[in-house]
Amino acid sequence: ETGVTQSPTHLIKTRGQQVTLRCSSQSGHNTVSWYQQALGQGPQFIFQYYREEENGRGNFPPRFSGLQFPNYSSELNVNALELDDSALYLCASSPPDSGVGELFFGEGSRLTVL
């Protein structure tokens, strides 16, 4: 059984550009969450998707948006990139019968904004 996979693993963008990060959930997992982890900090919740709908959002501006597809894979889109968007972006999925707060994380996508 494959775990949560994310792509790309590393990417560099310039300020003002747009980026799309992708996540394939673990098999059978129908919920996906996205987190931003700045260097040396703990992850911060961006949003969660369930049944292709946003199901909770953290304190992030609208230029952070997402999608969940019927196969439960997901995308995180960030428009008008800022220098502070440089971070590790983590995707986490969970199955229907998961315990509260039990998330299965991918290894992340490291975004550098120049």
Please identify, using beta-carbon distances, which residue of 40 and 70 lies nearer to other proteins.
40
**Closest separation between CB of residue 15 and other proteins, Å?**
25
List strand residue ranges (DSSP E) for 1-114, in order.
5-7, 10-13, 19-24, 31-37, 44-50, 53-57, 64-68, 74-78, 87-94, 104-105, 109-113
Q: Give the span between the Cα atoms of 7 and 99, in whole angstroms.
A: 27
Measured from the CB atom, is 82 or 102 closer to other proteins?
Answer: 102
Return the SS3 of 9.
coil
What is the contact surface with other proteins in residues (CB under 8 A)? 3, 31, 33, 40-45, 48, 55-56, 58, 88, 90, 92, 94, 98-103, 105-108
Closest separation in Å from C-beta 100 to other proteins: 5
Report the residue number, 19 or 49, with the smaller CB distance to other proteins. 49
